[in-house]
Structure 1
């Protein structure tokens, strides 16, 4: 199959008619579509699925609305509803040994309060009435809806499948659908029902009353289970909506500064603490300034002065000693002035130094009158210790100032309670609703679990009663023969199912291994792949033969394993189908992006349609992929026409257009 063309008519963000050609060559199988978020990229992907599958399409935004509501919502908002909207999807495939161009046109418009939908299918330009009326059946021949997820997927799906449990669920559904195992199991259930019905029909009223009573109760319990499952699904939808609204309310609450308002008391307490601490440090600095700290002049000058003082003492030259002391004292007074010490303190210091010189350096005083203790105060060890203490204290003051400034900034940013009270009330209301819904869902889960346990018990009782009844009815030769043949048939089918699953699981293991080794950088990391036949969980085998569960791999390696699984399942389907990948690199780290660009995209299928943002297939990745790209498109919004549109361009390195 080759996708040839998509036509959008008043669909979503696309006003008017937009025709997008998708044809490629074998050498250049990639169609690269670039678009910023919100410009219509996902809408384009939805259009293809909607054209193919209609009500069964897995389009975005379909979770909580009916099909009719969805169709109405996809009519361009600037288009009158009575003009309607439509999507056309043309693809080329082989039918009856010949190449056939099939065009599916799905249109709808609003009439009154209802939506009128019309589907027209043509083959090679001619209207095919039968295909138009029975398209739901016909499309399964081209692209079965159950395996569509193997060919239509996005980066979020790859990330989700990196979870071993989710990938196991995909494997279970994919394998059962591709191999027809679900049909075999349906046939097994049908044979069992035929056997049971034959037993009941043949037995007398008294013989079958017990079985009928069990079956009646079992059917009632089954209905309760299904009803509760529907209730839970509805409640889960409500819960999802409430959680989204709560997240929006929380974001608005934060935007208004609500978090800071909640921290008001703590911030005031922090402000008081840091103000007190700042006062204490400033008092400590004042004490240092009032002591010997002002005398701590630059170390080199002090060392020279002390050295000369000792020399004068030793030589008995009082005049030299007095002169050096006067020079030193002048330096000290000058230095103290630079510290911003008060004038009274400066005067006291000058007076003290003058009196000290007069007393110590009298002409009649012996040189030995200079106290040794005074000189020791200016030793290198003492000055270094004092300097460290001063630096530490000043650093503490700087740190406290920074913390205090940050606290005061947050206090200044706190809005008035009136500004955020409404947002806070709204957030708390949603939180209360969410809590109630979670409690109701938890109760429903418990009830469903209890009912399923009861259902299993009734099923066992029904089987035992049917077996007992069958033994009593052996006198009915026809019924006995039919029941025996059906029972043997079920055993054969069950054995066929198990062997079919085992053989194909091994083939799938080898296929996943082949594709995983193409993608992973550490070629020696994996030597084998195993799939558990019961849980369908994947494990990796290393060179030493040790089994490594998938959850032990890195996040990037798990995502590559998920891609390899999708790739292998698509190959196992035997379908020659294109791959359509939305935001292909959005969930991958840079280390693994290059691997996908070089080893997966060019060979994922004979036609690969990539829908990329401006942060994915650009730069180096674009250059690596360029030899395989057959078509480029850029989706951009035309403000003048108020519509998104496709142009033959792509992102440039500066995010401007690059004509190709």
Structure 2
């Protein structure tokens, strides 16, 4: 079976007509994953509800229906912005094999606001989408039960919360147990046993004399009362379970209030105050080092411009002195040259020209270096060197001062934080009230658990009493009803029931042995940790899982991490799908839950591409993120990608091609 197309018209947050192509076949290749991304509240769960609703109608187990009547639920599903004249419509196109040939059907459900008689209208279209298949409309519930039974649908159309609940429980809940039995084909023998009981009881009434019938009816009346008591106690057990869950929530709220309003801080006040004193002493130590800096050169940081000006002026005057010295040396050399020229045989005219040239040359060399401003600093070399060292030392002192100020600021913020924590600490009388409220909530939880255990034991006793009444009814009837045919039916029925019991036990063992191996292989494949579990055993009654290591010793489930428990639950569902032999699509809402990165990677790379020939994933951007979607794309596992774009202003969702990235 393959889902090919889902059409939503004015359904939930989906306004107008929106179409999703779900065909996993792309470019003549099978890529199993159809990826739909959307934020929380954006309409992912609504898509799952749409698939369930279009397939099962009033029997659908939708997430938002609760205790609503079908009429109220259909009204609730109508888009708030829809035109009253338009109908709400859901269509699902699927393909499966009939008589060794692929056939396609389009299931259409439509209804109006406040539908007449609380009903919707079902239509089935054939391959060409033009002619209705009326014969299927009248027998649709039976047809879909043979194709995808409602009882097992939750094992193929499930969400992350269902996996988390399954991972945390020691054994699956009753609804999952029934689905597992249906998936493995174990319910048929039980159904036959019940049918035989009905047949035998009918024959007893038909062929028993008045006295026998009276006795039988008295036993049946007692048995009926016992069964009613059992149902009432079972309902009470469920109510107390719900009450216990509420009390545990209140207990957690009381504990959170105890923490948030200072209960824990009050117990730690001395430690907080000691930390506060330590921080204050550290600040005082830093401030002392600041005072030492202030006693040195740091005050000169107030006149940085004057220091820089003095340094610049000293440099100018030093260069001027150097220029003047070099000029005097050149003039002395020129005078020696002229004196020598006067001694040699050179005419006075030439000497005058040489002298004029030398004077002009000196003037040209030092014209640009002549200091216009008269020197006023008059600092020697040693003074200028000390000034440079002072400025360098001052810069280091400034950096040190900034670091110490930053340290003081950080320490003061830490002290303020400690002061706020101390201030939030509850007063002694408030602390007492908080502690008493917490203890009261804890006592209520303990009392509710005791009531739960009492009723659970009562149910076990009633089961024994009911079994005894059934045996008494059977024995009394067999002994006192003499009619040959009736006795034959009863005797044969007992033999058949015994045979069915043996058949069921053997079938269960065979199915569970195969299931145990498949679940173990799937778990180790997902976990990628071959030394954790060597064998997995499944209880024949509760379907609870037991894990054993290489030495045959039990591996307690509490030793598994939260991620490993979720992988075990997914491996259980995967193994069930394999053993059942049903080739059905798998749809998963919020698939990754609280898995860490390594377990998430294993699930993305190993489970999603192999879970089925068609895997519909509805995910947020934090579950299947950029890394995970790139991995799936690289492995060519994704056939189509959609983004559920939710507009918070209009509270409407539109379906767009593509994913978050």
The DSSP-based 3-state class of the residue aligned with 1:121 is strand
1:7 matched residue in structure 2? 7
CA contact (8 A) 1:632 1:648 kept: yes
The DSSP-based 3-state class of the residue aligned with 1:499 is helix
2:147 paired residue among 134, 142, 145: 142
Q: In the alignment, does 2:567 pair up with 1:560? A: yes
1:159 matched residue in structure 2? 164
1:579 paired residue among 579, 586, 591: 586
The DSSP-based 3-state class of the residue aligned with 2:79 is coil
Post-superposition shift, 1:213?
2.0
1:470 paired residue among 478, 489, 499: 478
Q: In the alignment, does 2:111 pair up with 1:108? A: yes
The DSSP-based 3-state class of the residue aligned with 2:581 is coil
1:623 matched residue in structure 2? 630
C-alpha distance in structure 2 between counterparts of 1:264 and 1:538, whole Å: 39
C-alpha distance in structure 1 between counterparts of 2:293 and 2:155, whole Å: 82
Post-superposition shift, 1:116?
4.1
Number of residue equivalences: 531
1:188 matched residue in structure 2? 193
C-alpha distance in structure 2 between counterparts of 1:243 and 1:554, whole Å: 23
Q: Per the alignment, do residues 46 and 239 of structure 1 end up closer, same or farther by CA in structure 2, a change over 3 Å counting? A: farther
1:177 paired residue among 164, 182, 186: 182
The DSSP-based 3-state class of the residue aligned with 2:112 is strand
Per-residue CA shift, 1:384-413, capped at 9, x if unaligned? xxxxxxxxxxxxx99998887346536888
Post-superposition shift, 1:19?
0.8
Determine which structure has more spread, i.e. the larger CA radius of gyration: 2
Q: Per the alignment, do residues 402 and 527 of structure 1 end up closer, same or farther by CA in structure 2, a change over 3 Å counting? A: same
Equivalent runs, 1:302-341 vs 2, <5 Å: none
Q: Per the alignment, do residues 412 and 14 of structure 1 end up closer, same or farther by CA in structure 2, a change over 3 Å counting? A: farther
CA contact (8 A) 1:218 1:455 kept: no
Greater alpha carbon shift after TM alignment, 547-556 vs 87-96: 547-556
CA contact (8 A) 1:64 1:237 kept: no
Equivalent runs, 1:424-463 vs 2, <5 Å: 446=454, 450=458, 453-454=461-462, 456-463=464-471
Gaps of 5+ in 1: 286-293, 298-333, 340-396, 416-423, 653-660
Q: In the alignment, does 2:61 pair up with 1:58? A: yes
Gaps of 5+ in 2: 297-407, 427-432
C-alpha distance in structure 1 between counterparts of 2:422 and 2:479, whole Å: 85
Q: In the alignment, does 2:58 pair up with 1:30? A: no
C-alpha distance in structure 2 between counterparts of 1:404 and 1:72, whole Å: 59
1:216 paired residue among 212, 221, 229: 221
Per-residue CA shift, 1:613-640, capped at 9, x if unaligned? 1112223222211021111111112468
Post-superposition shift, 1:39?
1.4
TM-score, normalisation: structure 2: 0.68
For the aligned residue pairs, the C-alpha RMSD in angstroms reads 4.6
CA contact (8 A) 1:169 1:536 kept: no
CA contact (8 A) 2:91 2:108 kept: yes
Post-superposition shift, 1:91?
0.9
Q: In the alignment, does 2:48 pair up with 1:41? A: no
CA contact (8 A) 2:563 2:594 kept: no
Post-superposition shift, 1:117?
1.4
C-alpha distance in structure 1 between counterparts of 2:455 and 2:41, whole Å: 42
2:515 matched residue in structure 1? 508
1:650 matched residue in structure 2? 659
Equivalent runs, 1:515-530 vs 2, <5 Å: 515-530=522-537
1:128 paired residue among 129, 133, 138: 133
Post-superposition shift, 1:97?
2.5
C-alpha distance in structure 2 between counterparts of 1:84 and 1:39, whole Å: 22
Q: In the alignment, does 2:16 pair up with 1:16? A: yes
C-alpha distance in structure 2 between counterparts of 1:168 and 1:248, whole Å: 24
